[in-house]
Amino acid sequence: MRVNAAWSKTSVQAVILLLAIVTTGTVGYMLIEGWSAWDSLYMTVISLTTVGYREVHPLTRAGEAFTMVVLVGGVGTVLYSFTLIGASVIESTLHSPWERRRISAMLDRLEHHFIVCGYGRIGGILVDEFRRQRVPYVVVERDPERLRALIEAGHLAVEGDASSEEVLAKARVSRARGLIAALSSDAENVYTILTARLMHPPLYIIGRAESDESGRKITRAGADRVISPYQIGGQHMAQLALRPAVVDFVQLATSSEFLELSMEQIEVRADGPLTGHTLVSANLRQKFGVIVVGIRRANGRMEFNPAPEARMEAGDHLVLLGPADRLAELAGHAGVSTATR
C-alpha cells in the first residue's frame, strides 16, 4: 500500500493552524505596540516556543495582557499542532509496513475467494454485495487513493496492474474461486483475463464489456461469462416496465437483505448423495422445504421447472428457491458450499 508520507490532511490542517497563530500574534503586537513586522514576529515566536528570552521592547499593559493570551492559547495550540504532525510522520513510517504484513497474512489464509479487478462503480457494488453475503474476496486496484480508501473501509486489497502475473499471484489466483474483470477499458479486461486463464485454467472468469464486439474478444480471451452493464441495465428497465411484479420477486429472492427467501445453486457431485436420484426420489421439497426451479445440465443446457422424474447427474447444478437456512442445510447434505457459506 502506498502511503502519502509527505503530508496527510491532518498535517496540513495542523500547519495552517500554526501559521494562523503566528500571524495573529505578529499582527497583534504590530497593532498594540506599534512594532515593526520583524520585531512582532520575533516576539511571537519566542513566546510560543517558551524559550524565555527578554522582550524585544518594553511592553505596555495592553501588550502584557496580549502576551498572556498568546502564551495561554498559543502554546497549547502549538503543542497540539506538533503532536498531529508527529503522529502523521510516525504513521507514514511505522503503520505502512505493519499494514502490509497484516494484509499479507490475510492473503496467505485466503482460499475459494473471488478476485475483483478494478474498484470503480461496478467494483464497488460487487464488493459491497460480497461483504453482505460474507463471500471472501480481494480487490486488485492500481490507483493509490482508491486503494487507501478500500483498506480504510476494511476491504482486502492488493495494489498493482491486474494483468500482471505477479499481482495476480499476490491475490492468490491459484486458490481463487473466480475472477471478475471490471476494469475501465476493454483492453485491460482482455489482458487480465488472458493472464488469469493462463495462470489458473479452471478459474471461473466474468468479464465486463462495453460493446458486443469487445464482448466477443473477451470471450475469446477466456471469459466464462461476459456482462455488458448497458445491455443489462436496458433489459432490466424494460422488464420493470413490462413485468414489475416479476422483477420485484426476483430481487427479493436474490437479495442478501431478504432473509425469508433465497435463490441458490448447488452442484451435484459425483460422490454426493444426490447423484443418480430423481427429484421425487430425493424428496428435496419434503426434507428441506425447497423448490427446484431449474437444472443446469453439465453440458450447459438449462431445464426450467423440471419434472419430478428428472434425474440428477454428476456435474449438474440445481437452481433452488427456499429459506436461506434450509438451502444451507441442503448444501451441507450434498457436501458442497453455497455462495453464502
State the average pLDDT over residues 41-53: 78
For CA atoms 124, 129, 130, 131, the dihedral sign is positive
Q: How confident is the model at residue 93 (pLDDT cuts 50, 70, 90)?
A: very low
Question: Running DSSP on this structure, what letter comes out for residue 185?
Answer: S
Instruction: Name beta bridge partners: 267.
Output: 317
Q: Which pLDDT belongs to residue 97?
A: 64
Question: CATH for 9-106?
Answer: 1.10.287.70
Residue 94 has pLDDT above 50, yes or no: no
177 pLDDT band, cuts 50/70/90, is very high
Q: Of 52-56, 142-146, 225-229, 289-293, which gets the smallest average pLDDT?
A: 52-56
Phi, psi angle pair for 133, to nearest 5°: -90, 5
pLDDT at 89: 58
The mean pLDDT of the chain is 83
Instruction: Return the percentage of the chain with pLDDT > 70, whole number.
Output: 86
Residue 179: beta bridge partners? 115, 205
pLDDT winner (highest mean) among 120-124, 173-177, 237-241, 245-249: 173-177
β-sheet with 204-208: strand ranges across: 157-159, 137-141, 114-117, 178-181, 204-208, 225-227
> In the Cβ-directed half-sphere of 199, how many Cα atoms lie within 13 Å?
25
Q: Is residue 88's pLDDT more than 70?
A: no
User: In the block, which residue shows the cell 449438474?
Assistant: 316
The stretch 284-289 carries a mean pLDDT of 87
Q: What percent of the chain has pLDDT over 90?
A: 29
Helix (H) or strand (E) holding 76: helix 75-90
Separation of alpha carbons 51 and 46, rounded Å: 6
Determine contact, residues 169/159, Cβ cutoff 8 Å: no
Give 211's DSSP letter: S
Distance CA 130, CA 134 (A): 6
Alpha-carbon dihedral sign for residues 283, 288, 291, 292: negative
Instruction: Give the up-direction half-sphere exposure of residue 225: CA atoms within 13 A in the CB hemisphere.
Output: 12
Q: Note the pTM of the prediction, 2 decimals.
A: 0.59
Please choose, from the candidates 82, 139, 151, 77, the residue with its C-alpha nearest in 3D space to the C-alpha of residue 113: 139
**Which sign does the torsion angle of CA 61, 62, 67, 68 carry?**
positive
- Pairing type for strands 291-296 and 317-322 reads antiparallel
* CATH architecture of the domain with range 244-334: 2-Layer Sandwich (3.30)
The answer to whether 136 and 341 are in contact (CB under 8 A) is no
Query: Cell numbers 502549538 label which residue?
Result: 78
Looking at CATH, the fold of the domain delimited by 110-233 is given as Rossmann fold (3.40.50)
Instruction: Give the C-alpha separation, 3 to 147, whole Å.
Output: 10
Q: 79-83, 89-93, 298-302, 309-313 — which is least confidently predicted? A: 89-93
Domain boundaries, the chain: 9-106, 110-233, 244-334
